[in-house]
């Protein structure tokens, strides 16, 4: 008898005779039951609030877009510079709540969110959270620098802020969908 074959026979014999085997079997059946239940819960989420979530997410993103547009306009035209701290702190507040609008696996045909936003276990990817934290930080810096009168420094920080939006979009925002009529 070659050794492979005898190994197989040994394993078979072990499985048959081992009294723990049936518990192992039971556990694995229970385990896969749990997996199915978790999957069903995720499905339920998208059926319940999928479209509303996608819509609300766009409204939140548009809010950010409007503040950034305002900042860039102010800097370009050199008017209402004293409004920049307000726009910057609004961006900080919106950014703080942004985690809420990316629940696990919330992708859809109506969304440009890519599936690499989430880890396999459903948590937000560390790099995505880092991008969020960076946006918050850059908005805070703009807020502080705009309290002063140094136009050059304000302009520079506004550019850095805009780049922090683009960095995340590059990694986590997919191609335009047919539902998109605007872009940033
Ligand atoms: C941490 C990642 C991240 C950061 C930082 C980020 N975004 Fe986004 N943004 C996204 C993702 C993902 C989407 C796609 C969401 C969807 O379609 O469901 C998106 C979508 C948008 C949209 C909606 C329009 C479109 O093309 O889908 C606008 C506008 C937008 N972002 C503006 C901004 C602005 C302005 C900033 C910076 C002030 C910013 N974003 C920073 C991830 C980010």
Q: What is the pLDDT of residue 50?
A: 72
User: Structural domain tally of the chain?
Assistant: 2
Q: What confidence tier does 111 reach under pLDDT thresholds 50, 70, 90? A: confident
- Do 133 and 66 lie in a common domain? yes
- Do 84 and 162 lie in a common domain? yes
Q: What is the pLDDT of residue 40?
A: 43
- Do 35 and 89 lie in a common domain? no
- Do 61 and 12 lie in a common domain? no
- Do 147 and 108 lie in a common domain? yes
Range of the domain at 56: 50-183
Tell whether the model's pLDDT for residue 181 goes beyond 70. Answer: no
What angle do the packed helices 151-172 and 126-146 form, to 10 degrees?
A: 160
Ligand 1 centre to CA of 169 (Å) is 6
- Do 34 and 55 lie in a common domain? no
- Do 7 and 89 lie in a common domain? no
Q: What confidence tier does 54 reach under pLDDT thresholds 50, 70, 90? A: confident
Mean pLDDT for 96-118 is 91
Determine whether 161 is exposed, middle or buried from the number of CB atoms within 10 Å of its CB (0-12, 13-18, 19+): buried
Phi first, then psi, for residue 80 (nearest 5°) are 50, 35
Q: What is the pLDDT of residue 13?
A: 56
- Do 70 and 159 lie in a common domain? yes
- Do 128 and 172 lie in a common domain? yes
- 119-146 pLDDT, tens digit each: 999 999 999 999 999 999 999 999 999 9
Distances (CA, A) of 138 to 8, 76, 127, 169: 62, 19, 16, 16
Mutate to test the pocket of ligand 1, among 54, 164, 184 (most ligand atoms within 8 A of CB): 184
Ligand 1 centre to CA of 86 (Å) is 20
Do residues 106 and 142 make contact, with C-beta atoms less than 8 angstroms apart? no
Which atom of ligand 1 is nearest to 128's Cα?
1
Ordered DSSP codes for 75-86: HHHT--GGGHHH
> Terminus-to-terminus CA distance in the chain, angstroms?
70
Ligand 1 centre to CA of 78 (Å) is 26
Q: What is the pLDDT of residue 39?
A: 45
CATH label of the domain that carries residue 161: 1.20.120.10
- Do 24 and 83 lie in a common domain? no
Q: What is the pLDDT of residue 87?
A: 98
Lowest mean pLDDT among 36-40, 85-89, 131-135, 142-146: 36-40
Ligand 1 centre to CA of 57 (Å) is 9
The more confidently predicted of residues 27 and 82 is 82
Ligand 1 centre to CA of 61 (Å) is 5
Q: What confidence tier does 1 reach under pLDDT thresholds 50, 70, 90? A: very low
- Do 169 and 79 lie in a common domain? yes
Residues with CB under 6 A from ligand 1: 54, 57-58, 61-62, 64-65, 68, 91, 111-113, 128, 131-132, 135, 164-165, 168-169, 172-173, 180, 183-184
Average pLDDT, the chain: 81
- Do 25 and 83 lie in a common domain? no
């Amino acid at each position: 008898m070659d050794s492979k074959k005898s190994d197989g026979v040994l394993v078979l014999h072990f499985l048959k005779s081992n009294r723990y085997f049936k518990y192992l079997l039971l556990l694995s059946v229970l385990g896969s039951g749990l997996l199915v239940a978790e999957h069903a819960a995720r499905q339920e989420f998208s059926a319940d609030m999928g479209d509303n979530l996608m819509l609300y997410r766009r409204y939140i993103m548009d809010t950010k877009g409007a503040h950034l547009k305002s900042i860039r306009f102010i800097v370009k035209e050199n008017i209402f510079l004293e409004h920049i701290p307000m726009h910057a702190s609004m961006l900080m507040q919106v950014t703080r709540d942004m985690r809420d609008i990316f629940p696990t696996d919330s992708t859809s045909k109506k969304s440009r969110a890519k599936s690499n936003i989430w880890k396999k276990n459903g948590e937000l990817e560390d790099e995505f959270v880092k991008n969020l934290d960076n946006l918050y930080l850059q908005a805070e810096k703009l807020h502080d620098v705009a309290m002063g009168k140094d136009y050059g420094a304000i302009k520079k920080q506004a550019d850095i802020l805009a780049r922090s939006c683009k960095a995340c979009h590059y990694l986590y925002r997919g191609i335009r969908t047919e539902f998109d009529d605007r872009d940033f």
